[in-house]
Structure formats: C-alpha cells, structure tokens
Structure 1
Amino acid sequence: MKKIKFSKDEGSEFYKELNERIRNYFESNRIGRTGNRKMIFKIVLYFTLVVLFYFLMLTSSNIVTFFVFYIGLGISVLLNAFNVSHDAAHGVAVKSKFWNKLLFQLSFNLQGNNAYVWGKNHNESHHLYTNIEGSDIDVLNNPLVRMTIGQDLQWYHRFQYLYVPFLYLFYSLNWFLFREFLMIFNRSSRTIKVTIPAWEVIKLIFFKIAYITYMIVVPSILLPFGWEYILAAFLLNHFLVSIIFTAVLGVSHLSDYVAHPEPDSNGKLAMSWPKLQMCTSVDYNVDSTFLNWVLGGFNAHALHHLLPNICHIHYIKLLPIFREVAKKHQVEYMEMSYAEALRSHFRFLKKMGTQLAFKPVSYEI
C-alpha cells in the first residue's frame, strides 16, 4: 500500500473547528459518542431477527414460506452488517471495547467472511486514502469494469453502464467464494497487496464451511424440499443482498461528482485529508430518519468518513453543525437525493467507459 502525505488547505481549519464543535455538542448535552439505548435496541432487534428468521426458515411447511423466510434471514443479516458490524468495527456501537470486538466478529464472521481482513483494511486503507488508486483497498482493477483513469480503456467498457448492474448481482457471492481466498495467494483485483495472518486464514476457512453448513447443508437435511430449492434460495438471497449492498454503497464513491485524486511522484497529495474525504464522497437523503435507522448512517458517508469515532445514531443531530462549518470554511459538501446519486453513478460508469481522462462534474446546490 502506498502511503500518502497530505497538504494543508481550507479543509484543515474546517476539520479543526468541526471537531471542536462536535466535542462541545457532546459535552453540553452530556452524552457519549458511542451508541445509546436506541443503539442497544437496534443491536438486540437485528440479532433477534436473524435468529427468528433462521428458526422460521428451518420450520417452514411449504416452499413459498421457506423462500420468504430465507430471504428475510438474508436481509436481516445485511441490516445487521449496516447497523451493527460497521459501527462495532470502528469501536463505537457500544462503550465496551470487548463487546464492540465481539459484536463485530460475530456479525461479520457468521456471514462467512473474515472480520480481520475487512476491519483492518477498511480502517487503515479505505478511510485513510479514499478513492486513491494503489492506496485505497476499495479501488478495483477489474478488467471488466473501468473505474479509474489508471486502467486501460477497452472497447467493451463503453457498454459497462449496461452490464455492470448484472455483475453487481454477484458481488456478495464473489466476496464469499473468491475475494478472500484470492488474497491468500496474493491474487486479487484490489490495487494493493493484502497479507492475511495464518490464524486468520484458518478462521476464514472455518467460518466459510460453517456458513455453507447452516445455510445449505442443515436446511437440506431438515426440510422436505429438494437440494435444488435450497441452492436456489441461497443464490437468490445473495443476488438480492448484492443489489441492495451495491445500491447503498456504490453511489457514494463511484459518482461523476467525486474525485479520484492522484499524488505526485513523492507520494504527496495536493489537499488535506479532510478535503479528500469531502471531495470523494456523496451523501444522499441525509435528513431521513428512516434511512439512518435502516442503513446505519451509510447514506451520510462524508460525515462518517470524517467522524468514524461517532456512532451513526447521532448523525442526524450533527448534520446542522456539519453543514454550517463546511459552509463557513468554503469546503464543498455534496448532498443530494438518492435518485440524483444513482443517476450520477451511471453517468460515471458511462464516462469511464468512453473517456481516457475524467474530470468530476461541478456540484451545484
């Protein structure tokens, strides 16, 4: 991973005042930055839904209810990831370090994925060097999809805005079956090398086997349906989860409004870290209580990137401060409706499929 040096600019003063204002907010209201009782309720709710839907799935009396409960289980696991796993990975779901780690490990590993790999690289790569090729683990070098100007432009990329939605269907399956296994052998579409400790490799394999066991093998043994129906439910669940996951997250960093900054030959970026976060993230419907509840604050991505040490349960109350300080320091904050964010995402895919160079569209309120 290429480490980047940042410069000072208006984003530096913006971030300094933002932290002061945020600190004053929590101190004056005598509340903590981590999850409150509402967050505890969410944790209990989403874990309960996972257990409940799994029980209902295993006791289904007909194929229709089986599929409904299987999909319900998949959606509950995804909501758990949005609302619990992510905040726990940042150590802010609850006050206790022990419980944050346990919640993160449980909610992530039980999906058949490796918590260590995602947590370490999410915090130490994506959050530090957002959208910078060679430094941000989430910047891909997939031959089928061109997402940075560093990738060669192929003739078929002109159609990527049409076929990418189909590829999105396989996102979670690719993650489960290939992504982490390829990292073990240093083969990955990620633009940085990922090293997985031996103990984590053992855990990775164990939890993938466990996932296959309770999601496919156990239902096949206990239920009177053919294995083909179980497999169909498994695949349908992953397709649906993939679409929701990519629809929620893809529009934030893959947009024709956001930048993909490049450091100079000395590894120095001509902007501050706070400004990098603001120019590489799009937020949508940030005032929506419903989306904050369901998506765990993922729709307030810029806010989260700048303040990862704060639980998403507080985001809506912090937004007025965030907007005010950004405006004062003339740091652009890109917020819009989800419909516009989605349109921008597909414009980005289309432009990256036809243009050698790429310049972000000017954001206008």
Structure 2
Amino acid sequence: MKKIKFSRDEGSDFYKELNERIRNYFENNQIDKTGNRKMVFKIAMYFSLVFLFYFLMLISSDLAAFFVFYIGLGISVLLNAFNVSHDAAHGVAVKSKFWNKLLFQLSFNLQGNNAYVWGKNHNESHHLYTNIEGSDIDVLNNPLVRMTTEQSLQWYHRFQYLYVPFLYLFYSLNWFLFREFLMIFNRSSRTIKIMIPTWEIVKLIFFKIAYITYMIIIPGIVLPFAWKYILVAFLLNHFLVSILFTGVLGVSHLSDYVVHPQPDSEGKLAMSWPKLQMCTSVDYNVNSTFLNWTLGGFNAHALHHLLPNICHIHYIKLLPIFREVAKKYGIIYMEMSYSQALRSHFRFLKKMGTQLELKTMSYEI
C-alpha cells in the first residue's frame, strides 16, 4: 500500500474547528460519542430479526413462506452489518471495547466473511486514502469495470453503464466465494496487497463452512423441499443483498461529482486529508430518520469518514454543525437526494467508459 503525505489547506482549519464544535456538543449535552440506549435497542432488534427469520425459515411448511423468510434472513444479516458491524469495527457501537469487538466479529462473520480482513483494511486503507488508487482497498482494477483514469480504456467500457448493474448482482457471492481466497494468494483485483495472518485464514475457512452449513445444508436436511429450491433461495438472497449493498455504498464514492486524486512522484497529495474526504464522498437524504435507522448512517458518508469515532445514532443531530463549519471555511459538502446520487453514479460509469480524463460535475449548493 502506498503511503500518502497530505498537504495543509483550508480543510485543515475546517477539521480542527469541526472537532472542537463536536466535542463541545457532546460535553454540553453530557452524552457519549458511542451508542446510547437507542443503539442498544437497535443491536438487540437486528440480532433478534436474524434469529427470528432463521427459526421461521426452518419451520416453514410452505415453499412461498420459506422463500420469504429466507430472504428476510438475508436482509436482516445485511442490516445487522450496516448498523452493528460497521460501528463496532470503529469501536463506537457501545462503550465497551470487548463488546465492540465481539459484536463486530459476530455480526460480520454471520455473513460468512472474515471480520479481520475487512476491519483492518477498511480502517487503515479506505478511511485514510479514500478513492486513491494503489492506497484505497476499495479502488479495484477489474478489467470489466474502469474506475479511474489511471486504468486503460477498452472499447467495451463504453457499455459498462449497461452491464455493471448485472455484475452488481454477484457482488456478495464474489465476496463470499472468491474475494478473500484470492487475497490470500495475492490474486485479487484490489490495487493493494493484503496480508492475512495464518490464524485468520483458518477462521476465514471455518466461518465460510459454517455459513454454508446453516444457510444450505441444515435447511436442506430439515425442510421437506428439494435441494434445488434451497439453492435457488440462496442465490436469490445473494442477488438481493448485492443490489442493496451496492445501491447503498456505490453511489457514495463512484460519482461524477467526486475525484480520484493521485499523489505526485514523492507521494504527496495536493490537499489535506479532511478535504480529500469531502471531495470523494456524496451524501444522500442525510436528514432521513428512516435511512439513519436502516442504513446505519451509510448515507452520511462524508460525515462518517471525518468522524468515524462517533456512533451513527448521533449523525442527524450533528449535521447542522457539520454544514455550518463547512460553509464557514468554503468546503463543499455534497448532499443530495438518492435519485440524484444514483443518476450521478451511472453518469460516472458512462463517462469512465468513454473519456480518457473524467469531466466531473460541479456541485452547486
């Protein structure tokens, strides 16, 4: 992973005052930055939904009900990841370090994926070097999808805005079946190399076997349905989860409003870290209580990237401060409706398929 040196600019002063204002908010209101009782309720609710849908699925006698409960289980696991795994990975779901670690491991491994790999690289790569190829683990170099202007432009990329939604269907299946195994052998399309400790490789294999066991083998043995229906439910679940996951996260960093900056030959970026976060994130419907409740604050991506040490349960209350300080220092905060963010995402895919140098949209307040 390429280490980047940042420059000082107006983003530096913006970030300093933002942290001061945020600290004053929590001190004056005598509340903690971590999750409160509402967050504890959310944790209990989402875990309960996972176990409830799994129980209902296992006692299904009707095929239609089986599919409904199976899909409900998959969505509950995803919502658990949005609301519990993510904040727990940052150590802010609850006060206790022990419970944060346990909640993160449990809720993430429920998906059959490795918590260590995602948590370490999410915090040490994506959050530090957002959208910088060679430093951000989430910037891919997949020959089918051109994500940055540093990647070669092929003739078929002009159609990527049409076929990428089909590829999105396989996102979680690819993650479960191939992504982490390829990382072990350094064959990943990720633009940085990933080192996975031996013990984590053992855990990775164990939880994938466990996932197949409780999602395919146990239902196939317990339920009176043919194996083909179990497999169809498994695939449909992954297709739906993939579309929801990419639909929530893809529009935040893959947009024709954001930048994919590159450092100079000495590894220095011509902007500060706070400004990088504001230039590479699009937020949508940030005032929505419903989306904050269901997406765990993923729709307020810029705010989260700058303040990862704060539980998402507080985001809506912090937004006025965030906007005010950004305006004071002339820092553009890109917030819009989801439909605008989605259109921008597809414009980005289309432009990246035809333009050698991306012509970004100018965000207007």
Q: Give the TM-score, by structure 2 length.
A: 1.00
Name structure 2 gaps, 5 residues minimum. none
Instruction: Check if 1:340 corresponds to 2:340.
Output: yes
What is the total number of aligned residue pairs between the two structures? 365
**Cross-structure match for 1:118:** 118
The answer to whether structure 1 residue 215 and structure 2 residue 215 are counterparts is yes
Question: What is the alpha-carbon distance in structure 2 between the residues aligned to residue 359 and residue 26 of structure 1?
Answer: 41
Amino acid aligned to 1:174: N
Structure 1: distance between partners of 2:176 and 2:57: 21
Counterpart of 1:79 in structure 2 is 79
Write the letter of the residue equivalent to 1:76: S
Q: Secondary structure at the match of 2:181?
A: helix
* One-letter code aligned to 2:137: I
Sequence identity percentage: 87
Cα displacement string for residues 210-268 of structure 1 (whole angstroms, at most 9, x for unaligned residues): 00000000000000000000000000000000000000000000000001011000000
In 2, Cα distance between equivalents of 1:305 and 1:162? 30
CA displacement, residues 23-72 of structure 1 (integer Å, 9 cap, x when unaligned):
00000000000000000000000000000000000000110000000000
Matches within 5 A, 1:310-321: 310-321=310-321
Q: Give 1:150 deviation, angstroms.
A: 1.1
Report if the CA contact (8 A) 2:125-2:136 is conserved.
yes
Q: Quote the residue 1:143 is aligned against.
A: 143
- SS at the partner of 2:166? helix
- Cα distance in 1 for residues equivalent to 2:359 and 2:192: 24
| 1:313-344 Cα deviation digits (max 9, x unpaired) | 00000000000000000001000000000000
> Are 2:77 and 2:110, in contact at CA under 8 Å, matched by a contact in 1?
no
Is residue 191 of structure 2 the alignment partner of residue 191 of structure 1? yes
Q: Distance in 1 between matches of 2:58 and 2:284?
A: 38
Q: Partners of 1:51 and 1:164 in 2: how far apart?
A: 33
Give the drift of 1:280.
0.1
CA distance in 2, matches of 1:166, 1:333: 31
- SS of the aligned residue for 2:199 comes to helix
**Partner SS state of residue 316, structure 2:** helix
Q: Where does residue 233 of structure 1 map in the other structure? A: 233
* SS of structure 1 residue aligned to 2:14: helix
Deviation at 1:361, TM superposition (A): 1.1
C-alpha deviation, 1:309, in angstroms: 0.1
**Distance (Å, rounded) in 2 between the aligned partners of 1:241 and 1:110:** 14
1:104-148 deviation digits (Å, cap 9, x = unpaired): 000011210000000000000000000000000000000000010
Q: Kindly indicate whether the alpha-carbon contact (under 8 Å) linking 2:160 and 2:349 is maintained by their aligned counterparts in 1.
A: yes
- Alpha-carbon displacement from aligned partner over 1:168-227 (angstroms, at most 9, x marks no partner): 000000000000000011110000000100000000000000000000000000000000
Counterpart in the other structure of 2:13: 13
Matched to 2:323, the amino acid is R
Contact 2:263 2:270 in 1 (8 A): yes
| Letter of the 2:96 counterpart | S
CA distance in structure 1 between the partners assigned to 2:7 and 2:204 by the alignment: 39
2:59 corresponds to: 59
Q: What are the ranges of 5 or more consecutive residues in structure 1 without an aligned counterpart?
A: none
In the alignment, the residues of structure 1 paired with residue 60 and residue 239 of structure 2 have an alpha-carbon distance, to the nearest angstrom, of 22
Correspondence for 2:260:
260
Residue equivalent to 2:158: 158
Question: Is 2:32 the partner of 1:32?
Answer: yes
The residue type paired with residue 63 of structure 2 is I
Give the Cα–Cα distance (whole angstroms) in 2 for the partners of residues 359 and 207 of structure 1: 43
In 2, the alpha carbon distance for the partners of 1:222 and 1:321 equals 54
CA distance in 2, matches of 1:216, 1:264: 50
**2:180 equivalent in structure 1:** 180
Q: Which amino acid counterpart does residue 180 of structure 2 have in structure 1?
A: E
Q: Distance in 2 between matches of 1:358 and 1:256?
A: 8
How far apart are 1:359 and its partner, in Å? 3.1
- Structure 2 residue aligned with 1:308: 308
AA at the equivalent of 1:272: S
| 3-state SS in 2 of match to 1:144 | coil
- Distance (Å, rounded) in 1 between the aligned partners of 2:100 and 2:239: 29
Structure 2 counterparts to residues 218-297 of structure 1, below 5 A: 218-297=218-297
Give the equivalent residue in structure 2 for 1:100. 100
Distance 2:184 2:329 in 1: 44
2:44 aligned residue: 44
The whole-number CA distance in structure 1 between the counterparts of 2:298 and 2:94 is 18
Partners of 2:76 and 2:40 in 1: CA distance? 16
8 A Cα contact 2:77 2:111, kept in partner: yes
The amino acid that maps onto 1:236 is L
Following the alignment from structure 2 to structure 1, what is the Cα–Cα distance between the partners of residues 184 and 250? 25
TM-score, length of structure 1 as denominator length: 1.00
Listed one character per residue, the Cα deviations across residues 297-316 of structure 1 (whole Å, up to 9, x for unaligned) are 00000000000000000000
The letter of the residue matching 1:300 is: A
The separation in 2 between residues aligned to 1:56 and 1:10, in whole angstroms, is 54
Aligned equivalents of 2:69 and 2:109: distance in 1?
Answer: 21
Give RMSD over aligned pairs: 0.4
Q: Which amino acid aligns with 1:111?
A: Q
Partner of 1:358: 358
